[in-house]
A and B are shown apart, each in its own frame.
Chain A
C-alpha cells in the first residue's frame, strides 16, 4: 500500500461519508433548495449510464458495436430482462450466462 492508494481511499471515505452524514448528523440545520433535490433525482441514471455505455461499446478501449461484442450484447440482455421482469438478480444472472456463453464460444 503506497501513499497514493492511502490518499485515494481516505479521500473516498470523506467524499462518501459527508454525503451520508448530511441530514442524519446535521439534521434540520441543513436545507437543500427544492431545485437541488430535483437535480439529485437525475444523478443515479446519469452516473450509471456514464459508466455502462463506454464499458459496453468500448471494452478494452476499442470501439466495437458488432453483435460479437459480449459486453454490448450482455448489457442489452441485462437491460431488457430487468425491464421485463423488474428483477435485478434475474437480469444479472441471465446476462452473465449470455456473456459467458459468448466469451466461451466466440
Chain B
C-alpha cells in the first residue's frame, strides 16, 4: 500500500468512534425532520449540503416555527462561528494542500473531523495530512448522510415515534457540552445572560430569540474580558 492509502485508512480508522457515536443522532435527526411535517428529502438535503449537526437540529425548530429566511441563515452563521477557530487551527497544515483540495476540504470541517485531525497534527504534523483528512472526513460524511436517510425514510414507521421525545437528544448533548465549561465566572455569566435573554425573547416573532440571546451572551463575555484586562492593568501600574 502506498503511504497515501495507509494514511487514508488511518484517518478512517481514527474517526470510527465518532462515526459510531454520531450515528444515533443522524437517525434521530432524519426522524425529527419528518415528524416536524417536512419531507424526508429536506433531511437528506440538510445532511448532504449543509453537513453541520447542531445547526441542522436547530433548523428543524426554526423552519417548523415559521422563522424567516434571514433568521434561519443568520442563526446558522452564529451557531457555526466556532468553526472559524477550527479553520484557523488547521491552516498551518492545510496551506500545503492544492487550492481545489482546500476548497473541498473546508466543507467537511465539522467538530468531529476537526477533533480527529487536530490530534493527528500533534503527532504527525503535515505528513500525508490530505489523504488522512479525506479518509476521516469522507467516511464520517457518508455515514452521517446514510443514517440520516434511514431516519428520514424509516424512522416514522415506528409507531408513536413522534411522542418519544427524541428532540431531547439535542438538549441533553448540548447541556453535557456546556456543563464542564462552567468552571469560571465568565462562562457562567455568559451562559446566564444567554439563557435569560432566550427565555425573555421567546415570544419574539420569526424565532429571533436564539440569535439575540447568543449575541447578548457574547457581548457580556467581551465586556467581562475587557473589565478583567483593565483590572489587571491597574494592578500592574
Q: How many residues of A contact B (CB 8 A)?
A: 71
Q: Does A7 contact B (CB under 8 A)?
A: yes
Q: Does B34 contact A (CB under 8 A)?
A: no
What separation, in Å, do the CA atoms of A45 and B183 have in the docked complex? 12
Q: Does B5 contact A (CB under 8 A)?
A: no
Give A30-54 interface residues, CB cut-off 8 Å to B.
32, 35, 37-54
Q: Does B148 contact A (CB under 8 A)?
A: no
Q: Does B83 contact A (CB under 8 A)?
A: yes
Residues of B within 8 A of A24 (CB): 87, 90-91, 94, 102, 105-106, 109
The count of A-to-B residue pairs whose CB atoms sit within 8 angstroms is 264
CB-contact partner of B198 in A38, A49, A96, under 8 A: A49
Min Cβ gap A22→B in Å is 5
Q: Does B86 contact A (CB under 8 A)?
A: yes
Residues of B within 8 A of A92 (CB): 169, 172-173, 176
Q: Does A105 contact B (CB under 8 A)?
A: no
Q: Which of B6-14, B139-147, B150-158, B217-225 contacts A (4 or more CB under 8 A)?
A: B217-225
Residues of B within 8 A of A45 (CB): 178, 181-182, 187, 190-191, 194, 217, 221
Say yes or no: A86 contacts B180, CB within 8 Å. yes
Mark contacts of A58-88 with chain B using CB atoms, 8 A cut-off: 1 yes-contact digit, 0 otherwise.
1001000000001100111011111100101
Say yes or no: A50 contacts B95, CB within 8 Å. no
Min Cβ gap A27→B in Å is 6
Mark contacts of B152-190 with chain A using CB atoms, 8 A cut-off: 1 yes-contact digit, 0 otherwise.
000000000000110111111111111111100011001
Min Cβ gap B173→A in Å is 6
What separation, in Å, do the CA atoms of A79 and B181 have in the docked complex? 10
Mark contacts of B188-214 with chain A using CB atoms, 8 A cut-off: 1 yes-contact digit, 0 otherwise.
001101111111001000000110011
Residues of B within 8 A of A1 (CB): 39, 41-42, 45
What separation, in Å, do the CA atoms of A20 and B214 have in the docked complex? 20
Q: Does B103 contact A (CB under 8 A)?
A: yes
What separation, in Å, do the CA atoms of A56 and B179 have in the docked complex? 14
Say yes or no: A21 contacts B58, CB within 8 Å. no
Residues of B within 8 A of A44 (CB): 82, 177-178, 181
Q: Does B78 contact A (CB under 8 A)?
A: yes
CB-contact partner of B179 in A14, A47, A83, under 8 A: A83
Interface residues of B (CB under 8 A from A): 21, 38-39, 41-42, 45-46, 49-52, 54-55, 58-59, 63, 69, 72-74, 76-88, 90-91, 94-95, 99, 102-103, 105-107, 109, 164-165, 167-182, 186-187, 190-191, 193-199, 202, 209-210, 213-218, 221-222, 225
Nearest first, the 6 A-B pairs at minimum CB distance are A46-B217, A42-B221, A50-B213, A53-B195, A79-B179, A82-B176
